[in-house]
Amino acid sequence: MYTPKKALNMPKKPASKDWHRADIIAAVRKTGTNLQQLSRKFGYCRQVIGSALYHPYPKYERLIAEHLGVTPQVIWPSRYHSDGTSRSGRGERGVGRLGRYKAKNGNSSTVKKTRNVYPLNKAGNA
């Protein structure tokens, strides 16, 4: 005979304080537009800004929040630290990657320095 395990009575994962996707969509629609039109307004493909509803994209989250007149921390508190920095580690495209590169390598220049593979002789010919 089957006996149920006690694991079924385990407490559930704590509910997130983030706005629900439907609430974000409704808030944008109350402004007289939708996420597709918002994407086009900023010069992106129609479904790009909507991807912020499902995955952390700080740049798109910021665009949605600015359109709604709030900060991204208000909409997605689980995605941001208390000082307003993103928890995703992605940063905005280009900024985060170069910043991590500089911090990791202690290099302030992003230009790759190469040496001349084929040095010229005194006459200037190879």
Task: Dump pLDDT digits (tens) for 98-125.
Answer: 555 555 555 555 555 556 566 666 665 6
State residue 53's pLDDT score: 93
Closest CA to 61 of 89, 24, 98, 94: 24
Q: Model's pTM, two decimal places?
A: 0.60
Per-residue pLDDT band for 85 (boundaries 50, 70, 90) equals confident
Tell me which of 85 and 13 has the higher pLDDT.
85
Query: Measured at the alpha carbon of residue 37, what is the angle toward residues 33 and 40, in degrees to the nearest 5?
Result: 150
Q: What CATH number has the domain spanning 17-105?
A: 1.10.260.40
Alpha helices in the chain (DSSP H): 21-30, 35-41, 58-68, 72-75, 95-105
**C-alpha to C-alpha distance for 113 and 43, rounded to whole angstroms:** 35
Ramachandran sector of residue 103 (left: φ over 0; alpha: ψ -120 to 50; beta: rest): alpha
Closest CA to 80 of 19, 22, 38: 19
Q: For the residues 81-107, what does the mean pLDDT come to?
A: 62
What is the per-residue pLDDT across 1-19, written as a single tens digit (0 to 9) for each? 665 555 556 566 666 789 9
State residue 25's pLDDT score: 95
N-to-C CA span, the chain = 87
Tell me which of 124 and 74 has the higher pLDDT.
74
- Using the CB atoms, write b or e for 116-125: b if 16+ within 10 Å: eeeeeeeeee
Candidate from 30-39, 72-81, 86-95 with smallest mean pLDDT: 86-95
28, two tokens: 């944008």
What is the per-residue pLDDT across 14-42, written as a single tens digit (0 to 9) for each? 667 899 999 999 999 999 999 999 999 99
State residue 96's pLDDT score: 47
Q: Where are the domains of the chain?
A: 17-105
